[in-house]
Amino acid sequence: MKWIALLLSISPLTGAVEWHVDPGAAPSGDGSSDRPFAMLSEAVAALPAAPQEPLTLILADGAHRIREPLVLGPSELRGQPLTIRGGEGAVVSGGRRLTDWRIEDGRWVHPWDDGPIRELFVDGRRAPRSRFPASGWLRMEKPLPDKRSGFTSQDELPDREPGLELLFLHDWSVSRVPVASIEGHLLKAGGPIGFPAPHFVIDHFEPHPRFCLENGLAFLTEPGTWCHDPVGKRLVYLPRPGQVPGATDMVVPAATQLLRIAGEPGKRVADVRVEGLTFRHCRWDIEPQGYAEAQATKYLPRDKPRGEGDVTQQWRFVPWAVEVEWAGHVVFADCRFEQLGGSGVLLGAGTRDCALERCVVRDVSGNGAGLGEGGERRLEDGRSWIHRPEQAAGGNRIDRCRVSHCGRQFHGAVGIWAGLVGDARITGNTVERLPYTGISIGWKWDAEPTPCGGNRVEGNHIRHVMRLLSDGGGIYTLGRQPGTVLRGNHIHHIPLNSGRAESNGMFLDQGSSEFVIERNLIHHTDRSPLRFHRAGPLEVRANAWRLPPEIPALRFNNTDPATIDAHDNRVLDAAGLEAERGRWSGR
């Protein structure tokens, strides 16, 4: 009898059954407009027994708090279309509000015995952890003999505290590891610094690499900063002027994922549309021995012994708060993904014709938005899935989105990452204010054939990226990608590389071949607009760029210039640049 009332709640426009969820509702609702569900998890749990019509979940304004990920699989979706719609104020939050604060010597203290805390959001803004130095960077003087376990610093270091973390910068990635001991200028780490590949030894990149220390009580001197004291089992915050406990919203992420939409190989789920929702607050804890990026937040887990063979088979991404796998026609429209402790949103393995449209991705610790996967996943016979090209993600879109302020913790993150994907469309997006690369496409370091190709990266505005790390660009590519086109992108303000390698408007890295780069506008790059490293045949045509003094338009690293067909490209003077910028902004 419960569903009789629901069947009467049918939209006259779509014919879909409508269920309502209101976080302010009384418990034991049935989803009707008069008795909405009080919790989004209740609505999802009821889906397997829902009526056999298309269904719309309507989320009222407010924070829909969850403790466990919402999972939409075959039993929840029942082969019927599902729409999840929220108003401007509907938020799916995996956060926990902290209210039990006491004041000690001008600091706020909250008891905490639930593992490490990596993020605190205060009145809707990310609060920085305490840091030494408060700004800028320290410099390594000399590594220990193994070039992994520690180093001497050019400057004397503070005393070690429990919970202290080392943030160490490599050219295009970072390591975050616990500090085991400090004696004067000597620091020893509680886990290996750097990804376990020979070129990640800590003196391989820039001379005297940069580092800092985080999460020390002694560093808590800047208003608005905080630290986690694991011995005292407390969170300590130094308030800004005018902040008052009880009147200040303090949130830590608690849920480890917010939403997962997933079928399985050979059995995709389909037809889900998510409109107007904000996804906020998601937690990811690094392992006790720390974290070391290889690239784009791919890392090798340290929570179990490393297997034999190619370590890239064991790579993982910093997890995504919202993840779609083995699905078709899943669309997120006008959504926001923000204040997240891992990465943002991924249309991943086996996805077809899925999309992010007009979404905002901002203030994310890892990557912003992603498409597809790398080659790590294994088939039953032990081979990479790339030998089954029908399993590739294909026809997915990231369109007219705004991606900014990603890589807040894991600085080697990228704004938009696309792996071994086919017929992807990354179009009309604004990507800005990132520590590393804006858009990365491809995930094979040679020209071996893969399902990657036919992609279009077009009409994107990429600016103010590469602000901390090096060896990337506004757009970064890897591998053979026949039929791919990088067209009509506006890329500017790529600063001087901080590490050993250049940063560029576009960096066409190992194996990049068989695609076209055309009609792009690139300016205000401190190094060459385009750089090629072990690249293969590429066509570069009808681009326009403004060059720094004595800097070539094209830089070749271990690439035969004869393999690059560059023609009809223009070097702009100041007046020509202004004209081109005007034409681009008028689109």
Please choose, from the candidates 493, 489, 494, the residue with its C-alpha nearest in 3D space to the C-alpha of residue 518. Answer: 489
CB within 8 A of 575, min separation 6: which ones? none
What span, in angstroms and rounded, lies between the C-alpha atoms of 287 and 190? 11
Residue pair 273/58 in contact by the 8 Å Cβ criterion: no
Q: Which pLDDT score is estimated for 12?
A: 47
CB 509 within 8 Å of CB 538? no
Q: Amino acid identity of 531?
A: R
Cβ atoms of residues 441 and 456 within 8 Å? no
102-161 pLDDT, tens digit per residue, is 999 999 999 999 888 999 999 999 999 999 999 999 999 999 999 999 999 999 999 999
Domain that holds residue 161: 97-252
What DSSP string describes 456-487? EEES-EEES--SS--S-EEEEE-SB-TT-EEE
Q: What are phi and psi of 481, to 5 degrees?
A: -140, 70
Residue 39: inside a domain, yes or no? no
Q: How far apart are CA 85 and CA 261, in angstroms?
A: 16
Q: What is the pLDDT of residue 115?
A: 86
- The two three-digit tokens of residue 290, written as one number: 């720390």
β-bridge partners, 475: 439, 506
Q: Are 350 and 385 in contact (CB under 8 A)?
A: no
Residue 111 lies in a domain: yes
Residue 354, classified by CB atoms within 10 Å of its CB into exposed (0-12), middle (13-18) or buried (19+), is buried
Tokens of 356: 């992010």
Within 8 A by CB and 6+ apart from 386, the residues are 375, 392, 420, 450, 451
Strand partners, 571: 545
Q: Across-strand partners of 260?
A: 71, 323
Residue 165, token pair as written in the block: 């973390």
Domain count, the chain: 1
CA dist., res. 247 & res. 225, Å (int): 18
How far apart are the C-alpha atoms of 478 and 81, rounded to whole Å? Answer: 36
Q: In which order are the strands placed within the sheet that holds 120-122?
A: 95-97, 250-253, 120-122, 125-127
Sign, CA torsion 84/88/93/97: negative
- C-alpha distances (whole Å) from 17 to each of 22, 237, 261, 330 are 17, 47, 20, 19
Provide the token pair at 586: 């008028």
DSSP state of 223: T
Angle at 184 between CA 181 and CA 187, to 5 degrees: 35
**CA torsion angle 246 250 254 258 (round to 10):** 110
Tokens of 372: 């597809």
CA distance 225 to 11: 49
Closest CA to 340 of 167, 94, 96: 94
Is 322 a domain residue? no
Q: Judging by DSSP bridges, how do beta strands 544-545 and 570-571 pair with one another? A: parallel
Residue 203 included in any domain: yes
State the Cα–Cα distance between residues 407 and 300, nearest whole angstrom.
Answer: 18
- Give kind and range of the element (H or E) at residue 579: helix 574-585
- pTM score: 0.96
User: What are the tokens at 307?
Assistant: 């297997």
Quick one: tokens of 59? Answer: 């989320």
Give pLDDT < 70 ranges for the chain. Answer: 1-15, 304-313, 586-587
Name the H helices within 47-202.
Answer: 74-77
Question: 241 preceded by cis ω (within 30°)?
Answer: no
Residue 206 lies in a domain: yes
Report d(CA 477, CA 441) in Å as an integer: 5
Give every CB contact of residue 453 below 8 A, 6+ residues apart in sequence: 422, 480, 481, 482, 483, 484, 514, 515
Nearest CA to 81 out of 355, 351, 331, 424 is that of: 331
Segment holding 359, helix H or strand E: none
Q: Tell me, yes or no, whether 185 lies in a domain.
A: yes
Query: Does 25 fall in a domain?
Result: no
Residues 301 and 326: beta-carbon distance below 8 Å? no
Q: What is the pLDDT of residue 3?
A: 40
Instruction: Give the count of beta carbons closer than 10 Å to the beta carbon of residue 353.
Output: 17
Residue 5: the pLDDT is 38
Is position 427 within any domain? no
